[in-house]
Amino acid sequence: MNRMSDGIGTMKASEVSRFVKENLSQLLEERDYWLHVLGSDTRSSVRALCSSITREENRISAEIARVRALYDFDAKFGNLVAGVDEVGRGPLAGPIVGAAVVLRTDSLDSSLILEINDSKKLSRKKREELFEKIMEQAEAYAIYEMSNLDIDRVGISYCNHEVFRGSLRQIPIKVDMVLSDGYPIKDFRGRNTPVIKGDTKSAAIACASIIAKVHRDRIMENIHQYYPDYGFDSNVGYGSQVHIDALKRLGPCPIHRMSFLTSILEKTT
């Protein structure tokens, strides 16, 4: 990266600005050097780019502190903590998906999974990026689904808790505590603590939220290829206007939850 600084003087100010934006994370590794290079430039617009490095450094420091707080919350319950969350309780179609993620709560700042949060607060692109990071860095993770047929057969409440239990049954290591988002897991014999708004407080729950969301979205995007009229690629089974209109026009398809459609189908008869 140092060699690249030799060409700074020959670049247009706009090119230097683009270079800094595209390489901020690398520039931070040699912060003092690059602050000197940019700060010594004769052009005021280039010297001003020093603030970009400082802002990025501050942003990263703040993000480390935010995520560290999530890990520290989990650390109150032990060194190995599992978080569970579900996605898909309310849609009219598709499965409900639960995920369990185990993290080491004594992780160093350098190994924290930054930017984790409630999956609903993240862009699709960011969720996809974090999905890969979580799978690489978590001590363990598991995903469990129950289909629309399961939901119609035994009810959404049972399925909601079963995707928690099912994902935890697949975790191959013993954990100190299971943290669940919002409410305790019914008929679970292990140690469990519910956390209100857990996906914004607990690192493990936030990771489980992301894993479950990305997995289910991918399922619905795949199903969209077979039933494109319902808009599953955008509404992922929720009752958007496009989805409702298609139901009224075409009726349900094989992945609809018939127990959720009574009032909608009654209006079409």
Residue 251, number of CB atoms within 10 A of its CB: 11
Summarised one tens digit per residue, pLDDT across range 33-82 is: 777 777 777 677 767 777 777 777 778 889 999 999 999 999 999 999 99
Higher per-residue confidence, 20 vs 18: 18
63 is in an annotated binding site: no
Whole-number Å distance between alpha carbons of 106 and 34:
33
Summarised one tens digit per residue, pLDDT across range 234-254 is: 999 999 999 999 999 999 999
In residues, how long is the chain?
A: 269
Select from 148, 97, 150 the least CA-distant residue to 254. Answer: 148
The arithmetic mean of pLDDT across residues 216-233, rounded, is: 97
CA angle 86, 231, 158 (to 5 degrees): 25
Q: Are 58 and 25 in contact (CB under 8 A)?
A: no
Q: What is the pLDDT of residue 20?
A: 64
Residue 65 half-sphere exposure, CB side, CA atoms within 13 Å?
A: 6
Contacts of 117 (CB under 8 A, 6+ apart): 199, 200, 206
Whole-number Å distance between alpha carbons of 214 and 227:
20
Whole-number Å distance between alpha carbons of 151 and 171:
24
One-letter amino acid of 30? E
Q: What is the pLDDT of residue 57?
A: 76
Residue 173 half-sphere exposure, CB side, CA atoms within 13 Å?
A: 17
Q: What is the pLDDT of residue 1?
A: 46
One-letter amino acid of 34? W
- Burial grade of 257 (CB within 10 A; 0-12, 13-18, 19 or more): buried
Provide the pLDDT confidence category of residue 30 given band limits of 50, 70 and 90. confident
> For the chain, first and last CA: distance in Å?
69
Summarised one tens digit per residue, pLDDT across range 180-203 is: 999 999 999 999 999 999 999 999
In three-state secondary structure terms, 194 is strand
85 is in an annotated binding site: yes
One-letter amino acid of 94? G
132 is in an annotated binding site: no
Higher per-residue confidence, 13 vs 133: 133
Q: What is the pLDDT of residue 44?
A: 74
What is the maximum alpha-carbon separation in the chain? 76
Residue 99 half-sphere exposure, CB side, CA atoms within 13 Å?
A: 25
CATH architecture of the domain formed by 74-223: 2-Layer Sandwich (3.30)
Summarised one tens digit per residue, pLDDT across range 107-150 is: 888 789 999 999 999 999 999 999 999 999 999 999 999 999 99
Q: Are 192 and 78 in contact (CB under 8 A)?
A: no
Q: What is the pLDDT of residue 56?
A: 74
Domain boundaries, the chain: 2-48, 74-223, 224-266
Higher per-residue confidence, 262 vs 2: 262
